[in-house]
Structure 1
Amino acid sequence: MSVAKVQDMLQMTSTHILNLYELYVLPNLSTVKNDKKKLACIGSAIAATLLYSLYRKISLPPVGIRAIPRVNIFTYMASVLRGDDAHYQLKHMYAPLIAKANGVYVRPNRCGWSVYVADPADIRYVYSKAEIFPKAPNSIGEPNTLLSAMIRSPSIVTTVGESWKVHKKAAHPAFYRAMPVNLFGSLVQQVFGEIEKENGTINISGYVERFSFDAITAAGFGYNANAIGDKNSEWVGYYTALSKGAFDPFFFLFPIFDTTLRWMFPSRIHLHKILEVFLGKITQIIVDKREMIAKGAASSLGENEKDLCTLMIEAEEGEGGVLTNAEMMNDLLTFVFAGHDTTANAMASAMYYLATHKDIQQKLREEVIEFLGDAPEDVIPTVEQTKTMTYLNMVIKETLRIMGPAVWGHPRIAAEDTELGGFFIPKGTIIITDVIGVQHDERIWEEPYKFDPERFNPDIEDPTKRTTNAWFPFGSGQRQCIGLNMTMTEQRVVLAMMVRKYEFCLPKDSIHKDGMIIAGMDLIGPKELVLDFTKRY
Structure 2
Amino acid sequence: MDETKHVEESVQISSYTQVILIVLVTTFGIMMLTKKRYKLPPGPWAVPMIGNILSFVNTSFDRNLSKWHKKYGPVFSFSIGRRRMVVINEPEALNEALVKKGSDFSGRPYLYSMSIATQGNKSILMSTYGDGWKLQRKIASHALRQYLTGRQLEERVHEVLQPIIRNMLEREEAFDPHMHLSLTVFNILLGICFGTVMELDDPEFVGLINLFDEANDLFGNGFLEDFFPPLRLYPTKKFTRTMELFGKFNQFIYSRLQEQKEKFDPENVTNLTDNIILAKQEVEADTKSPVSALFTDTHASQTLGDVFGGGVDTTRIQLGWIFLVISTRPDIKEKVQEEVDRVIGDKIPGKEHRAKLVYTEAVMLEAMRLFPVAPLGVPHETLQDTTIGDYEIPAKTTVFPNQIEILHDPNLWEDPLTFKPERFLDESGTKLVAKGQGWVPFSMGHRVCLGESLARLQILYVLAGLVQKLNFSLSKDSCPDLKCNQDGLVNKPKKYKLIVTSR
Which TM-score bucket, shorter chain as reference?
Answer: 0.7 to 0.9
Percent identity between the two aligned chains: 20
Cα distance between partner residues in 1 of 2:64 and 2:324: 21
Out of 22, 39, 43, the residue aligned to residue 69 of structure 1 is 43
Cα distance between partner residues in 2 of 1:183 and 1:290: 23
Measured after TM superposition, the shift of residue 451 of structure 1 is 0.9
Out of 303, 320, 333, the residue aligned to residue 305 of structure 2 is 333
Please tell me whether residue 372 in structure 1 is matched to residue 344 in structure 2: yes
Cα distance between partner residues in 2 of 1:178 and 1:471: 25
Letter of the 2:104 counterpart: F
SS in 1 for 2:98: helix
Please tell me whether residue 174 in structure 1 is matched to residue 143 in structure 2: yes
**Could you tell me which residue of structure 2 aligns to residue 127 of structure 1?**
98
C-alpha contact 2:174 2:499 (8 A) present in aligned 1: yes
| TM-score of the superposed pair, with normalisation by structure 2 | 0.79
SS in 2 for 1:114: strand
Letter of the 1:331 counterpart: T
Cα distance between partner residues in 1 of 2:61 and 2:41: 28
SS in 1 for 2:146: coil
Measured after TM superposition, the shift of residue 242 of structure 1 is 4.1
**Could you tell me which residue of structure 2 aligns to residue 210 of structure 1?**
183
> Which of 152-161 and 221-230 deviates more?
221-230
C-alpha contact 1:413 1:428 (8 A) present in aligned 2: yes
Cα distance between partner residues in 1 of 2:265 and 2:206: 31
Out of 274, 280, 285, the residue aligned to residue 310 of structure 1 is 274
> Which of 161-170 and 416-425 deviates more?
416-425
C-alpha contact 1:110 1:252 (8 A) present in aligned 2: no
Tell me: CA distance 1:161–1:268, structure 2 relative to 1, closer, same or farther (3 Å).
closer
SS in 2 for 1:172: helix
> Which of 448-457 and 495-504 deviates more?
495-504
SS in 2 for 1:409: coil
**Could you tell me which residue of structure 2 aligns to residue 285 of structure 1?**
256
Measured after TM superposition, the shift of residue 82 of structure 1 is 3.4
Please list every run of 5 or more consecutive structure 2 residues that lacks an aligned counterpart in the other structure: 1-6, 285-290
Letter of the 1:189 counterpart: Q
Cα distance between partner residues in 1 of 2:435 and 2:82: 30
Measured after TM superposition, the shift of residue 264 of structure 1 is 5.7
Cα distance between partner residues in 1 of 2:446 and 2:96: 12
Cα distance between partner residues in 2 of 1:533 and 1:343: 22
Out of 109, 130, 142, the residue aligned to residue 111 of structure 2 is 142
Superposed CA RMSD in Å reads: 3.9
C-alpha contact 1:134 1:413 (8 A) present in aligned 2: yes
Please tell me whether residue 114 in structure 1 is matched to residue 91 in structure 2: no
Tell me: CA distance 1:243–1:517, structure 2 relative to 1, closer, same or farther (3 Å).
closer
C-alpha offsets along residues 57-92 of structure 1, whole Å, 9 cap, x if unaligned? 9xxxx9635552348789975675535484x5565x
Please tell me whether residue 405 in structure 1 is matched to residue 373 in structure 2: yes
Measured after TM superposition, the shift of residue 364 of structure 1 is 0.9
C-alpha offsets along residues 436-490 of structure 1, whole Å, 9 cap, x if unaligned? 11111111111111111111104569x9x99612111112234321111211111
SS in 2 for 1:348: helix
Out of 159, 164, 168, the residue aligned to residue 186 of structure 1 is 159
**Could you tell me which residue of structure 1 aligns to residue 394 of structure 2?**
426
Please tell me whether residue 525 in structure 1 is matched to residue 492 in structure 2: yes
Please tell me whether residue 394 in structure 1 is matched to residue 358 in structure 2: no
Cα distance between partner residues in 2 of 1:159 and 1:146: 12
SS in 2 for 1:184: helix
Measured after TM superposition, the shift of residue 395 of structure 1 is 0.7
Out of 182, 189, 201, the residue aligned to residue 174 of structure 2 is 201
Please list every run of 5 or more consecutive structure 1 residues that lacks an aligned counterpart in the other structure: 1-31, 300-305
> Which of 498-507 and 316-325 deviates more?
316-325
Tell me: CA distance 1:365–1:242, structure 2 relative to 1, closer, same or farther (3 Å).
same
Letter of the 2:344 counterpart: L
SS in 1 for 2:107: coil
**Could you tell me which residue of structure 2 aligns to residue 35 of structure 1?**
10
Tell me: CA distance 1:195–1:231, structure 2 relative to 1, closer, same or farther (3 Å).
farther
Please tell me whether residue 495 in structure 1 is matched to residue 470 in structure 2: no
SS in 1 for 2:223: helix
> Which of 437-446 and 149-158 deviates more?
149-158
The 5-angstrom pairing of residues 249-328 of structure 1 reads 249=221, 252-255=223-226, 260-261=231-232, 263=234, 265=236, 268-269=239-240, 271-294=242-265, 296=267, 298-299=268-269, 306-316=270-280, 323-328=295-300
Tell me: CA distance 1:273–1:429, structure 2 relative to 1, closer, same or farther (3 Å).
closer
SS in 2 for 1:454: helix
**Could you tell me which residue of structure 2 aligns to residue 535 of structure 1?**
501
Tell me: CA distance 1:216–1:354, structure 2 relative to 1, closer, same or farther (3 Å).
same
Tell me: CA distance 1:509–1:80, structure 2 relative to 1, closer, same or farther (3 Å).
farther
Please tell me whether residue 82 in structure 1 is matched to residue 58 in structure 2: yes
The 5-angstrom pairing of residues 447-486 of structure 1 reads 447-459=415-427, 468-486=436-454
Tell me: CA distance 1:516–1:209, structure 2 relative to 1, closer, same or farther (3 Å).
farther
SS in 2 for 1:203: coil
Cα distance between partner residues in 2 of 1:68 and 1:434: 16
Measured after TM superposition, the shift of residue 209 of structure 1 is 2.7
Measured after TM superposition, the shift of residue 263 of structure 1 is 4.7
Cα distance between partner residues in 2 of 1:420 and 1:434: 15
